[in-house]
Structure 1
């Protein structure tokens, strides 16, 4: 137990100072980068499998996983070989349609049953923007219902309940995540002005908060009843289940899975390369059919040969259904283990499968977390200090998670490594017992 006269803030300062002493080369790189990049952009420089090494030679178990996009880890042999063979035998980008493009599209449609047709783009952000354009074209309406705490890409951010970093700033109607009745009313009241409802099955950047089955199906049913397009953002969650989260969220009464009008996907589908995809019902996607529509969907790199070939190999040979199930079962083991250990403390863990966030909250307890409002703590509060202290503690012992507490497992992570991480978290809770206990 830490001595009584040192506060949590004091312990954080000590950890920060120790980190600076241990990482002089990283500090110099940060200072150099900050000359030309706002805030600098210091990142790891070498990775292999699920391990990364920093400029100062420290090795870490990578539990960041590129915020879910890096499920394959670093330098996966199949991905590396496919990149090399594509460059050597085909070329990086042809500026034309290819057989690889059609083959990869077919593999995605086979995996996600609600996707009849799709189009490729360059990121999850783009996928959501294009899906919204489809909805607006189909309905002739412009406004969109989103939810507080949502993150749908770099220019589609609603973390604090406002359109804090968005395009079309006045076109958003913001609802309350996991609030069934208020959402049903909101959709009905907006039927003459809203084109779509856009939401995540689990809010990723908003704290890994899963939506209830009741809420997701209520949104889908209300959208259909009121003529809105239901867009499910599976940029993050599509890696959690072989058919995406939509395939296992069953209607509480009918027992049927979700069937969104449109689904969006992100970088993990192509080995972490720059890609996005949006797809769904054939009649909706027809607005981008150049044979019958005047709506253009261009993009120099949309169907680049690297992403098309790597994507096909990644989804069919590496992140197979079996591999997906195994990794997410490992994630469930980790989350359950951490929550069992956290009883009686301020720590709690939310998430699904291999993606989760570790929180420090005044009351602890993950069962009551249904929206981002339940996660709000003051920036200078003891709980915010604990989050940062936790991050520095794990870094010093060779575990790299996101500063906000997010964990995203990588293929190749073993049961032994998960047990080691659980042990490190337990050691933190023991050492800082006086600060973390309820």
Structure 2
């Protein structure tokens, strides 16, 4: 496989960009990332003409794939031709807001921003402003964007910045606890409950290998935060309009958070973020309230048109039936392959998301007949239950180096593009086909 052009482009990039990239995760591919020239349905073509089945989908936003349906493409082009942006409101941002409010259970009002990071930054500020409290509880290993309040590691007793440039005094207001650990969460609220503004969590850990909540965990969080007057924030930047269809993951779990952050799919492939929730809380944002939040490009008309047309197309054309069906086939096929070739490994995911976590321990190969059939669901009767990851630490203890240094390259050599490390999840799009699934399963068989 020739990669001369990608190598030369990376050499140039190293001279003008830190690490040769504009987002750190892109450099996880060694010795250098391939540079994409264009997308085509469920595939990408790199600068050397190599074609890959793309299960990364821009890290999630491309629900429809790289080749947009005619009506979606036309709406984007029409909006772009009317002028790039105006610094005033437009009708299309109202249309998209109404669509989200109509379909997502927790959202009565919404504020659009420009990225998932900006959404979580604003949600944390809003929670603190609304409650008059300082502390935010997060899940260890969870990712909520490149922001000071959540780039924190350690535990609730000893939180510390996970990045240079963040003062320790910032980290002291963030309380990391393990996902799925009710006892640890109770202890944090017993110690700090009067100063906890919110619990911020993904409904499914989707930036750490895909970890489902154990049965009753989100109900427990909802009850505990209500009891202490804290807010429950669901970060649905990844799961939003991926898991649970138009109702998002919160509808699938039957939980109504106070606030929800969005990104990815609601921009249809363009930069976007949003914060939605109860009207009485969202109205604390300026100019209606005292929590300052603003952005020149917020509600950008081209992004709003792309997001609205993407979601409307999904609603009218059984997009979720297609992507979730292929996702089910992938996970079911991977479950059989893993049981045969790598029985200690764990298949995870739901709907249009999937991943294989290279867990080090597992049940005996002859006991796997009753396992979860298409991705770990934290089912106590599953023979993998005691071995599958329950939180970020469980994923981190997997064979992450083997995944990145050996397995990823073996899949790339078979023209399959997977997410850049063990932790980022993978996505199915409307542009993928049955043939893509079969080719990918055959590649897994060879690589494992």
Q: TM-score band, normalised by the shorter chain?
A: 0.7 to 0.9
Match of 1:376 among 393, 396, 419: 396
> Cα RMSD (Å) of the superposition?
2.1
Contact 1:355–1:407 (CA under 8 A) maintained in structure 2: yes
How far 1:319 sits from its partner (Å)?
A: 5.7
The SS at the match of 1:56 is: coil
Q: Residue 269 of structure 1 aligns with which residue?
A: 266
Provide the secondary structure at the position in 1 that maps to 2:52: strand
Distance 1:75 1:325, change over 3 A: closer
Of 158-167 and 232-241, deviating more is 158-167
1:146 lines up with 2:138 in the alignment: yes
Greater shift after overlay, 321-330 or 368-377? 321-330
Cα displacement string for residues 71-106 of structure 1 (whole angstroms, at most 9, x for unaligned residues)? 222241444322211122x32211111211111100
**1:202/1:351 contact within 8 Å kept:** no
Question: Aligned ranges for residues 99-118 of structure 1 at < 5 Å?
Answer: 99-118=91-110
Task: Work out the CA distance in 2 between the residues paired with 1:312 and 1:159.
Answer: 37
Deviations 1:329-355 (A, max 9, x none): 321221122122111514322222222
Normalising by structure 1, what TM-score? 0.85
Give distance in 1, aligned partners of 2:306 and 2:281: 27
Aligned counterpart for 1:126 among listed residues 118, 124, 129? 118
Give the equivalent residue in structure 1 for 2:374: none
1:351 to 342, 349, 352: 349
SS of corresponding position for 2:48: coil
Query: What secondary structure is seen at the aligned counterpart in 1 of 2:348?
Result: strand
**CA apart distance, 1:121:** 0.4
Q: Which moved more, 1:104-113 or 1:328-337?
A: 328-337
Equivalent residue of 1:209, what SS?
Answer: coil
Looking at structure 2, the residues matched to 244 and 158 of structure 1 have their Cα atoms a distance apart, in angstroms, of: 27
Tell me how far 1:48 sits from its aligned partner: 1.6
Alignment of 1:202-281 (within 5 A): 202-238=204-240, 239-242=242-245, 243-249=247-253, 257-281=254-278
SS of the residue corresponding to residue 288 of structure 1 reads coil
Structure 2: how far apart are the matches of 1:71 and 1:228? 33
Moved over 6 A (4+): none
1:83 corresponding residue in structure 2 = 76
CA distance 1:423–1:218, shift in 2 (3 Å): same
* Residue 331 in structure 1 maps to residue 327 in structure 2: yes
The count of corresponding residues between Structure 1 and Structure 2 is: 397
User: Is residue 414 of structure 1 aligned with residue 433 of structure 2?
Assistant: yes
Q: In structure 1, what is the equivalent of residue 25 of structure 2?
A: none
- Report the counterpart of residue 445 of structure 2 in structure 1: 426
Residue 144 of structure 1 aligns to a residue whose secondary structure is: strand
Cα deviation, 1:91-128, whole Å, max 9, x if unaligned, reads: 22111112111111000111101100010000111111
CA distance in 2, matches of 1:418, 1:369: 25
Secondary structure at 1:72 match in 2: coil
Structure 1 unpaired stretches of 5+: 1-18, 250-256, 430-438
Query: Bigger CA drift: 221-230 or 368-377?
Result: 368-377
CA contact (8 A) 1:377 1:384 kept: no
2:414 to 397, 404, 428: 397
The reply on whether 1:293 has 2:281 as its aligned counterpart is no
Query: Aligned partners of 1:213, 1:296: CA distance in 2, in Å?
Result: 37
Q: In 2 relative to 1, CA 164–283 (structure 1 residues): closer, same or farther, beyond 3 Å?
A: same
Gaps of 5+ in 2: 22-32, 364-383
